[in-house]
Amino acid sequence: MNMYNSINMEKPVILTGLRGNNDLHIGNYLGGLKPIVDLQKQYAGKYQVNLFMPDLHSFTTPVNHSLLQEQIMNNLRLFVAAGLDLHNSDTFLYRQSYISAHAELAWILDCFAGFGEIKRMTEFKDKAAKLGEDRISVGLFNYPVLMAADILLYGAKYVPLGEDQNQHIEITRDIALRMNEKFKAQFPEGLFQPPVTVAKQVEFARRSQGGVRIRDLQHPERKMSKSDESGKGIIFLSDSPDVAAGKIMSAATDSFGSIDYDFNTRPGISNLLQMLAYMQGEDLDSVIDRYRGKEQYGPLKTAVAGSVQSFLIDFQAKLRGVDIELMMSKLETSELAMCEQANDTLLKVQTAVGLR
């Protein structure tokens, strides 16, 4: 067997993960945790699902380093509480920093990525504009290249992400195709298997995740975010169910006088309708039809508050019941398997660039 035959997996790979340096909120659950669990069930036997904790990405922005390890492990527990099947042999659960090939490949990819193209990344430009380039870490600037390594090490076909991450898929494909072309004489089959195009990623994400984006309860024109310092617009998965219900009851709506669904002009009331549908596992159109035209907002808020309250009571009970020993066993087994796959890819790249 050719020792450089790096990506020799029987099933196409779906790669996904959530940063583990903050408490996750209900928007993360509906838009991230639950879709990943649903994705695992939907594609069982057809795809390899790589679910990783991007812990190296966790401190591209300032964090409390003394809490980082605790937060990483807690977020792993959250995935299990959300229903992740630890017995699924096609699912691999791993920590990015435990696979050293991620950091090693990122450095090599750095040398094939242009300063200008990385500087054009929207996330970097936005944060640099807010804080000033002198206060932004090189790690944040370099984030897309490490992300490219995360993807290319396993030849991931699909990487379900939010729309704000589309540029990162594009740069991953650009780097992969650039290196494939440069080293095609040595590796005519291609050094990397790049992910599919952004258009196909979006199609896949909509099909498998539904494009959920929960809004801030006090400022519904923007998505629910961990950066909300007041805490009033965000429902954390660790919130007391009663406190969470209170946040729903004080959510901003509008003064139109009757209920309708339109995120462009009525984001507050539309957000509540969306939350109720997803929390109850009900078709959104059915929920909209049930409430459209009603002049009182109170009953809708009460229904959403009750559904969130019931969800948190159940979810937090499941979280307390997570089998830590089984989770750690899955983690360690997965990390051994991923090290082998990632190191095969890294060796192939090291050989191409002359390091081996």
Catalytic positions: 127, 223, 226
Bridge partners of residue 49, in order along the sequence: 14, 91
Q: Which residue do the tokens 């050989």 mark?
A: 351
Q: Are 42 and 90 in contact (CB under 8 A)?
A: no
**160 in Cβ contact with 201 (< 8 Å):** yes
Q: What is the DSSP letter of 32?
A: I
Q: β-strands 48-53, 13-17: how paired?
A: parallel
Rounded to whole angstroms, the Cα distance separating 356 from 4 reads 11
User: From CA 88, how far away is CA 25, in angstroms rounded?
Assistant: 26
CA 283 to chain centre: 24
Query: Following CA atoms 133, 139, 141, 142 in sequence, which dihedral angle do they give, to the nearest 10 degrees?
Result: 160
